[in-house]
Every structure is written in C-alpha cells, then in structure tokens.
Amino acid sequence: MDGIIPLWKPKGLTSHDCVMKIRKLLHMKKVGHTGTLDPEAEGVLPICVGQATKIVPFLTDTNKTYLAEITLGTATETEDGTGQVIDRKMVEKQPALQAIETVLQSFTGEITQIPPMYSAVKVNGKKLYEYARANQPVDRPERTVTIFELAFIEFINDASFKINVVCSKGTYIRTLCVDIGQRLGYPAHMSALTRTRTGSIAQSDTVTFTAIEKAVKMDQTKKLLLPITRGLTHLDCIMVDDDTKQKVLCGQKLAKRDLRFKTDPFLMMHQDKVLAIYQTHPENDKQIKPVRVFS
C-alpha cells in the first residue's frame, strides 16, 4: 500500500504519536509524517505510507497555511498557552484594527526568527527544549523564513484575535505571534493553532482517526489514500517515453540535453505515474541524476 493519508491531527497527540498509531492500524513500518505539528495544535498532517515515505522531505518543504490566535497581555516560557507566564501587561483597550494590519504588513515577506527555547531545533547535537528543561543557557541560531500572506481574521475579545498565515517551511508561528504582540506593545503568546493546508493538501481533503479505523475494519484503507503525486505538485514534471521509463526505473543518470524544467529537483513521469524524482547532477550540469526512484 503506497500513498498519502491526509490526516486531520487532533489536539493532544504529537506528530510522532500519529505515526505510531497509523503503523499499528495498518500493520506497516514504512510510515512517516511530513512536518511536526505541536501537540496542542490540530490540523492537516499528511502521513506517507509505503513508497510515499520517499517523498517526506519534499512534502515537508512545501508552504503551510495556519489559523492562529494571538493573546496579548501575557508571555509564556513556551510561547504558547501551555507554558508558565513570564511577563504580564494589562490590555486596557482593544488595539485598533488599522494598527494590527500595519504590524501584520511589516511581517510580510522574508523575516528572521529566533526559534523558541521549547522547540526541537538542535544546537551542538542537543535539542533546545533539553537546554530549557535543564535551565542551561544557549545561543539560538537565527533562521530566515518567508511569510507569503498574513491577514487579520477577527477579534475574539479585547486581548485576543485570529490571523491567517501562509508561510515557508521552518516558520515558528508561536514566535511570529510573540513578535507581533511585541510590535503592538504587549507581551503575547499563541493561544491556539490550526494548520489548514500543507502544500496542495487542504482541510477538505483530510480524514480523522475514526474514519481510518472504520476503513481498516472494512478493508477499505486504500480508498483514503491520496496518490504520491499529490505531495509533489510543487515540482515541475517531465513526461518520458517507454524507453526512457526503463532507464529511469533502473536509476540511470541521463543526459540533460534539451530538457526544460522550472524546478530542480523535478518529476519524471510516464502517463499518470510518477517514476522518480531527478535533479541536475551536482558535479556535471550536463547530466541529471535520480534523487528518489519509485518501484
């Protein structure tokens, strides 16, 4: 069984928990998720099974869309609602919508973030949350991410409001919420988070664990799977003939010649089936070589 289970991750489970649960349900070892979602967050978490596990890093690289709630007036050690409060400031009046929209506009585009201490980013082989739990100081590396869209949705109350975020991989929405709050003049934290899209896989495509369990009992699990190509829609595609198909399946390097592709890496396909992911040879730009080959 090969394909993508478009899981709607419930609150309370880690992404790894979801992988382990699906492994048990499907009795398969080749299962992997495509981008960590915090335990208290819910939303789109594509789970790759079988041959689809080969595309995990490529699907992880796609843009993500989130619905986040920012609460002004309190900052926490974890930057979300689960941590201890480390700073407070009374919100006496609801911020003006124009002020919020101006701040949101200032975060659109390429920005620099410092990952939160309670995160899995590694420094010197050790995860940041391990430093945090041991109360050990550490220099956190900056990272550059891109915010493609950032829009105000609605006020929840005078101190809380929702935003919609479309961003590149590696973006910490918790940190974005904290930084937006600081720009508005308040300590802040992310009080809720829902991922509504990963690449081309949207909330409307997803299935719950209840639906998966039901499908397993009825031996209809394959009906839940999205094809591998759904996780690769952001890559360009080259259609090949029967002769080239065999070379691709054998993992051969090929001459670049007159091939035209907008993304690198790119897909090699025959009819409606993806054969492999290729890229320009790093040591010979006149050749292309396979990155992943699908049997």
Burial (CB count within 10 angstroms: exposed 0-12, middle 13-18, buried 19+), residue 81:
middle
Beta sheet of 254-255, edge-to-edge order: 237-239, 266-270, 273-281, 284-293, 254-255
For the question of residue 241 being annotated catalytic, the response is no
The alpha carbons of the chain give a radius of gyration, in whole angstroms, of 22
Decide: 40 and 162 in contact? Cβ < 8 Å: no
Decide: 209 and 26 in contact? Cβ < 8 Å: no
Burial (CB count within 10 angstroms: exposed 0-12, middle 13-18, buried 19+), residue 17:
middle
Distance, CA of 81 to CA of 68 (rounded, Å): 12
Burial (CB count within 10 angstroms: exposed 0-12, middle 13-18, buried 19+), residue 10:
middle
Distance, CA of 234 to CA of 211 (rounded, Å): 28
Q: Which amino acid is at 219?
A: D
**Beta strand pairing call for 188-198 and 42-49:** parallel
Q: Which of 38, 61, 236, 243 is catalytic?
A: 38
By annotation, the residues acting in catalysis are: 38
